Structure 1
Amino acid sequence: MLDSGTSTPHSNPQAASEWSARSIRPIGAYALQGLATWHNQLVTMDAIRGYLLQVNPLSDNTTILNSYHTELFIEATGFAVWEDTIWFAKGKEVYSCEFGQFEPQLFTVLPYEADGIGIWESTVYITSQKLGYILIYERQTKRKITQFPLPGVGITNLTVRDEELWLCDRTEETVYCLDRATGEQKFSMLTPFENPTAIAFLNSTLYVSYAGEEAYIRDNPNADPNLELTYRDRTFIHPLHFRHYPDERYTLSTGYLVEMSYVEELLPLDDVELTDLEWRIALPTETHRQKIRSVEAIGIPFTEDIQDGQRVAVFQFPRLKSQERQIFGWKAVLEVRGIKYQFSFEDVEQSPELPPEFRDRYLVDDDELAMDKPAIQQAAKEAIGTETNVLRKMLKIRNYVYDRLSYGIKPHIDSPDVVLDRGVGSCGEYVGVLLALSRLNGIACRTVGRYKCPPFADRQNVPLEPDYNHVWIEFYLPGYGWLPMESNPDDIVERGPYPTRFFMGLPWYHAEIGKGISFESLRSQGIPIGDLMDLSIGDLALNHIRFTILGELPPP
């Protein structure tokens, strides 16, 4: 639900006790591509079977409304309902027909495929990714009135409510709210699931449909071995709850209560003996999108320290021997939500200077960033050209790095000059290049991480283990504060255009731990372990990371 903190008509119309976190899974549906309301009921379109389905949000009870006319809607894209008229698109053509009659009338033909349709009284709105616009027509005369640019890069569906256009972008995994008269973006938010295909309001609740495939292990008795990996359709509808904070320039969306544990299993590879060992592990951080409900020790107790404003768990070992075995770490219960910050390029044209303490801390090479190498200095100049706007500079640097790197896992982190020359990097190497180029261009940046909960929001109350750790960055916007930016997940298209879903935004499944500090470090007798001997944390212990999604949070 939208609650802007003001007395607007959209301000949290539901009481907290009335909110619903239930996914709606229409029976017999394979790929939902359209969503609308009709006679105060939810209606959806399955483009595989051609079904128009009336669905009960409370029970999944499903009724086919076009039993004898399913062929009309097979491979259809956009779908909308106004009064008793159905609007839909197939390829470049847009049609309308009446409920019960299903005799399609051609409305218009576009030069490229139509993706989404919205109707409001006498006005028809059509989205087309290949055109890059929302096309606006007068319904009676079929005359095109104007057009607005689409805010994202993916296939977009839409709905209309009062004076607003609401769009969902499949690639951006984002819902946008636009002014219906001007096309100006009011705010945007991230969806909790991937591949959002359609959007609609039922009463005051915003629903989004999703469609895709999921991998699963199939038991095949005719094969040996009998278990095999395969894929199946996955489609459902889920309410999207949100709150826009206009004064603070961000929007929160659907979140989850998550239990995370980080544990080290002491298991040295070689004989080693250390005295007065201090083992430091960063703790989760309080942010706009992440709240800490509780933190407790696992295995052995810890004391808590504050390092550069970040909470750190400190475990003490008076004498550590090779034969000693311990399990130790922490468990935290976190509230995590999707967040999207709302800044345009124009908003930061007159941004103030970077404070001196930030220049001394965040514009220096403090992590083998190769900022003194000619190749990196030249790349920093090429990345921004003559740009001076801090937000444009940051986006241009990101796109420059995406143009030159492809994602690949590496066993160790190379310096940015080596990574750029190689053209392949891990998330940590993307971060190194981004930090180097940004800092050379006067943009304060820092590393953030450290893990992502496996993004399966419907797999609740079962342990989930991430395959890898993960890092991203935050850059500082003078006059406001730190903004997040993902390292590599938006690098999904060769040479672009790249999504901006995680530029000034993070999804719910990121766990923010230790901003700008080392996630884990060792000291013996007060001296960093690396200064005493050639020994790493991996030589001493195995880590165990576990997430458990406890449930969906009420609307923010």
Structure 2
Amino acid sequence: MKKTLFILFFIFCVSVFSADYFNSKALFKKIAYMPTGFTNGLVFDGQSFFTTDRHKDILYEFKGNFNDGFKIEKFVELPDYEPSALDFNGKLFAVSDLEKEFIYLIDFKTGVCVKTLPAPYKRITGLAFDKDGNLWACIYRGKTIAKISKNDGTTLREIKSPSPTVSAMCFMPSKTREGYLWVADRGKDRLYLVDIQSGLTIFYLKSPVPYPTGIFYRDGKLYVSCYQKDEIYVADINSIKNKCERFDIRDAKVTVYSTVECMGTGEIKDANVYIAIPENRDNQELRVTKLDGKYELVKDQYDQKVAVYSAKDMKNGDFLNSKMEVEGRFYAISYKIFPDEIGTEKDIPEDVKKVYLKDDEKYVLTSPVIQNVIKKVVGNEKNLYFKARKLFEFLADRINYQMIGGWDIAPVVITRGTGSCSEYTFSYIALCRAAGIPARYVGSVVVRGEDASFDNVYHRWAEIYLPPIGWIPVDVNAGDEEWQGDKCYSFGGIANRFLITTVGGGNSKYMKWDYNVSVDYKTIGKANVRVESFAEWDVLRSKKLMKTDYDTNLKFYNFEKRSCF
């Protein structure tokens, strides 16, 4: 009777990230009720709120608190018949008119309309004065946001709208740039931060209300009002700068399998299976990792932990089996990156630069293809965020997803214009490193639809180093979206359906360019080797997850032995 060695490996992993997490649900606080219904637009001058009533064609000022209630202090009749948006420049209110397609500048103290401007669009839903006093206007079902002259309403510039269902807008000043626009989306219940200078949507917050038709920024606070609930909410925006939001919890069990089988008349002289061991990260808290069988624990040059299963002299019918079980809690995450707050190349640690700026065979940083993209896309840009973001936008537009086997080098993929997720990732890493931004990749197993699902395709994406945050996820493949409001999520965010097992920067000593699982072998004669690797996701049968109390001590339990392990 054969003896079997059965080893269980338990590890409570130390978190490799130390982000300060928040959740949008707790970020916004209800502070006021609207004293009237059918409101569009919101302004707060530090003491009073202002809004319009689209039925009565009136601009209201109101004050109050929850104890004493909220009451109207003053109102003026508007020259329009369907007010749809509102903003304030410190002296005059701007009000848009859906029916007549005009924008009116109102002196609230006197009730006088001092100027009438032609609207650049029909159905304006948001207005915002910028730092120069010009107006920005967004529209429902429009693809652009327009900047118009404060003097005569001439359209000066257009940028991409984050969504087709935008419903309100306001301006937020910037330390180093032209400023930002906060844009509300009634269709997807989001609040987007849009950079005026580049026209890029940076990130979004979840709206605290189902129908945001008023939004206003003042002194680090963002105010949002709701057409449906007649309520006002406020959030401290300074409290989330460069922090990570975690949401959409998934408790799950993941099992990774790999089998090497000798099916021919020859022999497998040596066979090795390398399984990447996951750690706790922003997106995952792992309760237990269990490895079956006899293995050796090693680390590669990127500090990736690997379990190595080996067998020798395998004949027909022999197997080398390996299995890893992981239980844990998985999150969707999204970094709220404020480009003004990002450091420079001097702020990147030298040990990070040394490892994650160097070339490797898949990258070819000196290639004319890579260098020409850097010159064309990055140009004279100095901000690390916008360097990386411009390269993300370029590659998402340039490459179409196509998985045909093999992982070609970055210059070939960029020239060809098609690639798999790994080829997207290698190309992005090459461009970032050539631009002076440290970059690496992570590999994962993926929930494919249902909570209990099978995955043998896997998924890989990049991470870049932005000081003072550290490593953030960038998935160019997932960022291939039409609307900026959808595309921005993939720059700094991932969904809750990934178990990240692998972190690498290039050709790993053990994993090579693979992730999750890697296999190599040597044969004699007609060995006819069969290799199968895949992962299974399943729901946790017990909802009682252990309290996270990480311990780096490894515990081994030895039982019986089988010759092929």
Same fold (TM > 0.5)? yes
Post-superposition Cα deviations, 1:255-288, rounded to whole Å, max 9, x if no partner, equal 2112212111333465553456442110222112
Determine the C-alpha separation between the residues in 2 that align with 1:520 and 1:417.
Answer: 25
Residue 540 (structure 1) shift: 3.8
Residue 390 (structure 1) shift: 1.0
Name the residue aligned to 2:349: 355
Check if 1:313 corresponds to 2:301: no
Determine the C-alpha separation between the residues in 2 that align with 1:384 and 1:521.
Answer: 32
Check if 1:128 corresponds to 2:118: no
Aligned partner (choices 267, 274, 284) of residue 280 of structure 1: 274
Post-superposition Cα deviations, 1:140-178, rounded to whole Å, max 9, x if no partner, equal xxxx9xxxx999722346699xxxx8945868x955599
Determine the C-alpha separation between the residues in 2 that align with 1:553 and 1:199.
Answer: 38
Post-superposition Cα deviations, 1:26-82, rounded to whole Å, max 9, x if no partner, equal xxxxxxxxxxx9xxxxxxxxxxxxxxxxxxxxxxxxxxxxxxxxxxxxxxxxxxx96
1:548/1:382 CA distance change after superposition, 3 Å: same
Name the residue aligned to 1:373: 367
Residue 475 (structure 1) shift: 0.7
1:361-440 map, 5 Å? 361-440=355-434
Name the residue aligned to 1:473: 462
Name the residue aligned to 1:155: 164
1:99-138 map, 5 Å? 106-107=82-83, 108-109=97-98, 112=121, 128=140, 130=142, 132=144
Name the residue aligned to 1:548: 538
Residue 315 (structure 1) shift: 2.2
Name the residue aligned to 1:237: none
Determine the C-alpha separation between the residues in 1 that align with 2:336 and 2:374.
Answer: 26
Greater shift in the superposed pair: 107-116 or 393-402: 107-116
Check if 1:253 corresponds to 2:237: no
1:388/1:541 CA distance change after superposition, 3 Å: same
Residue 246 (structure 1) shift: 3.6
Name the residue aligned to 1:235: none
Q: What is the one-letter code of the residue matched to 2:535? A: I
1:409/1:134 CA distance change after superposition, 3 Å: same
Aligned partner (choices 503, 513, 517) of residue 491 of structure 2: 503
Post-superposition Cα deviations, 1:74-124, rounded to whole Å, max 9, x if no partner, equal xxxxxxx967745799xxxx99569xxxxxx84441665659799xxxxxx
Residues 175 and 189, structure 1, Cα contact 8 Å, conserved in 2: yes
Residues 36 and 53, structure 2, Cα contact 8 Å, conserved in 1: no
Q: Secondary structure at the match of 2:404?
A: coil
Determine the C-alpha separation between the residues in 2 that align with 1:433 and 1:5.
Answer: 30
Q: Secondary structure at the match of 1:499?
A: helix
1:78-117 map, 5 Å? 85-86=37-38, 106-107=82-83, 108-109=97-98, 112=121
Residues 281 and 519, structure 1, Cα contact 8 Å, conserved in 2: no
Residue 487 (structure 1) shift: 2.6
Aligned partner (choices 436, 444, 452) of residue 450 of structure 1: 444
Name the residue aligned to 1:490: 479
Determine the C-alpha separation between the residues in 2 that align with 1:190 and 1:389.
Answer: 27
Residues 268 and 539, structure 1, Cα contact 8 Å, conserved in 2: yes
1:32-47 map, 5 Å? none
Residues 280 and 313, structure 1, Cα contact 8 Å, conserved in 2: yes
Q: Secondary structure at the match of 1:515?
A: strand
Residues 311 and 320, structure 2, Cα contact 8 Å, conserved in 1: no
Residues 115 and 155, structure 1, Cα contact 8 Å, conserved in 2: no
Residue 245 (structure 1) shift: 7.1
Q: What is the one-letter code of the residue matched to 2:283? A: R
Residues 55 and 82, structure 2, Cα contact 8 Å, conserved in 1: no
Determine the C-alpha separation between the residues in 2 that align with 1:256 and 1:294.
Answer: 15
1:264/1:531 CA distance change after superposition, 3 Å: closer
Residues 249 and 330, structure 2, Cα contact 8 Å, conserved in 1: yes
Residue 467 (structure 1) shift: 6.4
Whichever of the two has the greater Rg, that structure is: 2
Determine the C-alpha separation between the residues in 2 that align with 1:82 and 1:247.
Answer: 29
Q: Secondary structure at the match of 1:258?
A: strand
Q: Secondary structure at the match of 1:500?
A: helix
Greater RCO (Cα-Cα under 8 Å, separation 6 or more): 2
Name the residue aligned to 1:337: 331
Residues 262 and 545, structure 1, Cα contact 8 Å, conserved in 2: yes
Determine the C-alpha separation between the residues in 1 that align with 2:491 and 2:25.
Answer: 30
Determine the C-alpha separation between the residues in 2 that align with 1:169 and 1:351.
Answer: 39
1:432/1:95 CA distance change after superposition, 3 Å: same
1:18-29 map, 5 Å? none
Residues 367 and 411, structure 2, Cα contact 8 Å, conserved in 1: yes
Q: CA RMSD in A?
A: 5.5
Determine the C-alpha separation between the residues in 2 that align with 1:150 and 1:383.
Answer: 18
Determine the C-alpha separation between the residues in 2 that align with 1:498 and 1:11.
Answer: 21
Residues 177 and 188, structure 1, Cα contact 8 Å, conserved in 2: yes
Residues 272 and 521, structure 2, Cα contact 8 Å, conserved in 1: no
- Structure 2 unaligned blocks of 5 or more: 1-19, 42-51, 57-80, 84-96, 102-119, 128-136, 148-152, 170-181, 195-200, 214-223, 227-236, 513-517, 549-565
User: How many residues align structurally?
Assistant: 404
Residue 529 (structure 1) shift: 7.8
Name the residue aligned to 1:44: none
Residues 115 and 156, structure 1, Cα contact 8 Å, conserved in 2: no
- Structure 1 unaligned blocks of 5 or more: 14-36, 38-80, 99-104, 119-124, 136-143, 179-184, 201-205, 209-242, 523-527
Residue 509 (structure 1) shift: 1.6
Q: Give identity over the alignment, percent.
A: 18
Residue 453 (structure 1) shift: 1.5
Residues 274 and 519, structure 2, Cα contact 8 Å, conserved in 1: no
Name the residue aligned to 1:230: none
Aligned partner (choices 498, 502, 505) of residue 514 of structure 1: 502
1:432/1:322 CA distance change after superposition, 3 Å: farther
Determine the C-alpha separation between the residues in 1 that align with 2:265 and 2:185.
Answer: 57
Name the residue aligned to 2:453: 464
Q: What is the one-letter code of the residue matched to 2:538? A: T
Determine the C-alpha separation between the residues in 2 that align with 1:112 and 1:422.
Answer: 40
1:176/1:387 CA distance change after superposition, 3 Å: closer
1:366/1:332 CA distance change after superposition, 3 Å: same
Q: What is the one-letter code of the residue matched to 2:471? A: W
Q: What is the one-letter code of the residue matched to 1:289? A: N
Residues 253 and 338, structure 1, Cα contact 8 Å, conserved in 2: yes
1:135-150 map, 5 Å? none
Determine the C-alpha separation between the residues in 1 that align with 2:368 and 2:532.
Answer: 39
Aligned partner (choices 290, 293, 313) of residue 296 of structure 1: 290
Q: Secondary structure at the match of 1:514?
A: strand
